[in-house]
Structure 1
Amino acid sequence: MGVHFLKAAGPEDIRVYAIGDVHGRLDLLRRLHDTIRQEIERDRPADWRIVHLGDYVDRGPDSAGVLDFLINAIASDERHIALAGNHDLGFLEFLAKPDPTGLFANFGGRETAASYGVVIAGRDRSGFVEAHGDLCRAVPREHATFLATRPPSVTLGDFFFCHAGIRPGVPLERQDLQDLVWIRKEFLDWPHLHPKVVVHGHTPHHEPQVMPNRVNLDTLAYQSGILTALVIDAGEKRLISTSGES
């Protein structure tokens, strides 16, 4: 037996906001947090959580600013939760080893480097090695520590939150990190219910996808200018978003 989205409910007396892939769009993240703050002040729920589904860096213009924002948010209130995304881990991998064939080097890392004032020019290995040294010096230690300590998932009520998805048939507590931040086809094509409804990002779509067994909140914020969140309040579920020019 699994949980269907229509019957799923959040934890009692806790309103949950889950936010999709940010990818350097600090402007959108600030606006969405402002909307959430206004809702919380207006409705005064007994308690709340804001879950960020990973991919804070790459592609968009202000990855460094996004990390500052999240670090400060969590420091001010631990009800802010930030999960690991594959791009976040790819950034850490580049800081450890300047691989010109890796995720960071080929899928938006140049924009991340630029947000720290570092220019990556060309695609030859020597250029990446030189930029790597500059980037290692430019990235604050707290940013690297933050990325290295992100949990891969969290469960709240009938919902399981992670970046990419889960391996169908594997118990939630035994999911592999690589699947949680990278999986696509096997998870997206699975037609049956899961033990909990999986709320994820990672796979961009022109609009949020609400399926019986999963909810995809990656609305390609860095390009579309739309950042989306799922709101779960007991048995009520709704979507909110904020938008702006890229």
Structure 2
Amino acid sequence: MGRLSRFSNKATSPPPLKAGRRVYAIGDVHGCRDALDRLLDMIADDLDGHAGKSSLVFLGDYIDRGPDSAGVVERLVGGDLPGTNQHFLLGNHEAAMLDAAEGKALGWLAYGGIQTMESYEVTKKELFKVPSVKKLIAEHVPDAHLDFFRSLKTHKKIGDYLFVHAGIRPGVPIEKQKKRDLVWIREDFLGSKVDHGVMVVHGHTVSAKPQKKKNRIGVDTGCYASGRLTAVRLEGSAVDFLST
């Protein structure tokens, strides 16, 4: 069902969180409702007996590619999630869907939007017969789900950790980062070895195992293809991983 693994490389020890604080950051779900349910159960079990404050940070890309995007969003908007509080970040796939909802991103269907619309009970025939994806979204996606997408934040800072979907532009202050970089950046961020002034925790780029580098932690393990949904658990100076 899952596993807990730990990095203990003292040379790359991350900044500590305040005593009693625990943070879980969950990677790209991509419509994998069953894996999300299992991981949330694992986190709830892991929190059993923890008396301090606990936060869940969802790193974006809740939708597309996997079989049940609608179910994932329904679980997240329905509440009853583990942790003292929850933070939901914007992924590039939600950004693309929101553009499609405004008639701006006609290419969204090609990289996962078809599976998302099917999860909202739209058939492929409807998708290719109706000229307006905007109209289909308005007719089939509940207002509560659209409100959720529109409420998503681009980043969250907790202590000396910065949580974002894709990464940051190296050398640019956090307050001057562009939204597009925060949800889309890849090589310029991944290849950077500079000290960002924070430990960046991100999803967006798939790896077979979660990655722990000197300046970043990546937790997208490609659930829609691998079945493995991963969260990093941060407490004190410890970095642990939970995976389905």
Of residues 134, 137, 157, the one that matches 1:135 is 137
Matched, 1:39 2:46: yes
1:168 is matched with 170
- Name the CA shift for 1:52/1:76 in 2 (closer, same or farther; >3 Å): closer
1:83 is matched with 89
Q: If the length of structure 2 is used for normalisation, what is the TM-score?
A: 0.89
2:26 is matched with 19
2:57 is matched with 51
Partner-residue secondary structure (3-state), 1:166: coil
Greater mean deviation of Cα atoms: 81-90 or 68-77: 68-77
- Name the CA shift for 1:143/1:76 in 2 (closer, same or farther; >3 Å): farther
Q: Do the aligned partners of 1:160 and 1:198 also contact (CA within 8 Å) in 2?
A: yes
Offset, 1:5 = 4.5
1:183 is matched with 185
**1:74-101 alpha-carbon deviations (Å, 9 max, x no partner):** 799770111000001111111211743x
Partner-residue secondary structure (3-state), 1:134: helix
* Amino acid aligned to 1:15: R
Q: Do the aligned partners of 2:44 and 2:82 also contact (CA within 8 Å) in 1?
A: no
- Name the CA shift for 1:87/1:74 in 2 (closer, same or farther; >3 Å): farther
Q: If the length of structure 1 is used for normalisation, what is the TM-score?
A: 0.89
* Amino acid aligned to 1:56: Y
Q: Do the aligned partners of 2:40 and 2:81 also contact (CA within 8 Å) in 1?
A: no
Of residues 44, 59, 62, the one that matches 2:68 is 62
Offset, 1:38 = 0.8
Partner-residue secondary structure (3-state), 2:60: coil
* Amino acid aligned to 1:216: G
Greater mean deviation of Cα atoms: 58-67 or 71-80: 71-80
1:217 is matched with 219
Percent identity of paired positions between Structure 1 and Structure 2: 38
1:234 is matched with 236
- Name the CA shift for 1:206/1:77 in 2 (closer, same or farther; >3 Å): closer
Matched, 1:119 2:126: no
Separation (CA, whole Å) in 2 of partners of 1:153 and 1:90: 17
2:153 is matched with 151
The count of residues paired between Structure 1 and Structure 2 equals 234
Partner-residue secondary structure (3-state), 1:27: helix
Point out where structure 2 has 5 or more consecutive residues left out of the alignment: 1-10
* Amino acid aligned to 2:122: V
Separation (CA, whole Å) in 2 of partners of 1:205 and 1:128: 37
The alignment yields a C-alpha RMSD, in angstroms, of 2.1
Q: Do the aligned partners of 1:11 and 1:156 also contact (CA within 8 Å) in 2?
A: no
Q: Do the aligned partners of 2:55 and 2:83 also contact (CA within 8 Å) in 1?
A: no
* Amino acid aligned to 2:199: V
* Amino acid aligned to 2:235: D
Greater mean deviation of Cα atoms: 66-75 or 109-118: 66-75
Partner-residue secondary structure (3-state), 1:37: helix
- Name the CA shift for 1:223/1:79 in 2 (closer, same or farther; >3 Å): same
Offset, 1:33 = 0.4
- Name the CA shift for 1:96/1:76 in 2 (closer, same or farther; >3 Å): farther
Q: Do the aligned partners of 1:167 and 1:186 also contact (CA within 8 Å) in 2?
A: yes
* Amino acid aligned to 1:31: R
